[in-house]
Amino acid sequence: MSQINHTYTLSSAVLPRSTAVTKLSLVLFGTLFLGVMAQISFPIPGSPVPVTGQTLAVLLLGTAYGATLGFTTFAFYLLMGIAGAPLFASGSHGLVKVTGATGGYLIGMLLASAVIGALAGRKWDQRIRTAIPTMILGNAIVFTFGVFWLHHVSGQSWSWALAKGFTPFLLGEFFKIAIASTALPTIWRFVAKR
């Protein structure tokens, strides 16, 4: 009896017969993509957390790859960055990035990859009306973990953590959500015509 694949993601649609080599290639590509997007980095005055392209990369990869491959890719990205590869924002690396002020955001991105990937496996990324809430949920996970950890590590007040770790990112995240929630349904329309 053959197993039925209950998840249908962009990567499984484009590569329906993926092998271990294909999956490894996707993980390596995704890790490189995350690393490149992390270099799109702008400091925020008074905040230890920069604006980066990482959240957009997580939204795109998590939904395109699905829960398991998305989670695996981000976990590999974290491990490579901890091990010394200059993959984090501004070419940084090391365990301090996960235990320091930005650690909550990184852990939030790891979990968001799995959650939005699971929703994408249920085709939530194929239509704009379901892609938008998926991307909002992904961002909510990232910033919930990020702000909680920033508050804990900094020892500052909740209002400081929100002012330095959430509020300055709102406009940028709005655009990232708009990009991801329109790009993926557009790509799906192209894939469906093949």
Answer whether residue 61 shows pLDDT above 90.
yes
Strand partners, 52: 41
> Is the CB of residue 54 less than 8 Å from the CB of residue 108?
no
The single-letter DSSP state of residue 2 is P
Domains of the chain: residue spans and CATH: 10-192 (1.10.1760.20)
Answer whether residue 151 shows pLDDT above 90.
yes
pLDDT of 16:
75
| pLDDT > 70 in the chain, percent | 95
Answer whether residue 106 shows pLDDT above 60.
yes
pLDDT tens profile 121-144: 999 999 999 999 999 999 999 999
Q: Average pLDDT of 74-99?
A: 96
pLDDT of 8:
77
Lowest-confidence pick of 8-17, 111-120, 128-137 = 8-17
Answer whether residue 2 shows pLDDT above 50.
no
Q: What's the pTM value of the predicted model, to 2 decimals?
A: 0.91
Q: Average pLDDT of 97-103?
A: 95
> Is the CB of residue 94 less than 8 Å from the CB of residue 85?
no
pLDDT tens profile 152-169: 999 999 999 999 999 999
Strands 41-42 and 51-52, by their bridges, are antiparallel
Look over the chain and give the mean of its residue pLDDT values, rounded to a whole number: 92
- Of 129, 110, 130, nearest to 57 by C-alpha is 110
pLDDT tens profile 14-59: 777 778 899 999 999 999 999 999 999 999 999 999 999 999 999 9
